[in-house]
Amino acid sequence: MDLKKLTLMPHGLEVLLPEGSPLTDLENQTSQRVIPFGCQSGACGACVIEVLDGFDSLGDMDGDEVDFLEDLGRTDKQYRLACQSRLMSAATIRIAEEE
């Protein structure tokens, strides 16, 4: 199984997840809740992250995710919904600041 590194800022917390894992799997890897997951289905907006490095490492965005991020005013390319992202190779993220 190929493991990929996800780095969470500003903590600098590094987690290894199997390639293709949904970022919701973080819940099983850390004792602390680092991403505020809610619905885990792309509908609540609790898990918006800013991708600092490796945007293309988090899998493709589907139209629903693009539309929802647009509804949330997160139109810059660096935003993703963590619950809809899959770790395909190394990436660095942080929780998006409140707008």
Residues of this chain that bind ligand FES (CB under 6 A): 37-40, 42-47, 81, 83
Q: How far is the CB of 70 from ligand FES (least distance, A)?
A: 14
Cβ closer to ligand FES: 19 or 27? 27
Cβ closer to ligand FES: 44 or 52? 44
Residues 6 or more apart from 20 whose CB is under 8 A from it? Answer: 59, 86, 87, 88
Q: How far is the CB of 78 from ligand FES (least distance, A)?
A: 16
Q: How far is the CB of 37 from ligand FES (least distance, A)?
A: 4
How many Cβ atoms sit within 10 Å of the Cβ of residue 8? Answer: 21
Cβ closer to ligand FES: 44 or 88? 44
60 in helix, strand or coil?
coil
CA-closest candidate to residue 94, choices 21, 25, 36, 30: 36
Strand partners, 71: none
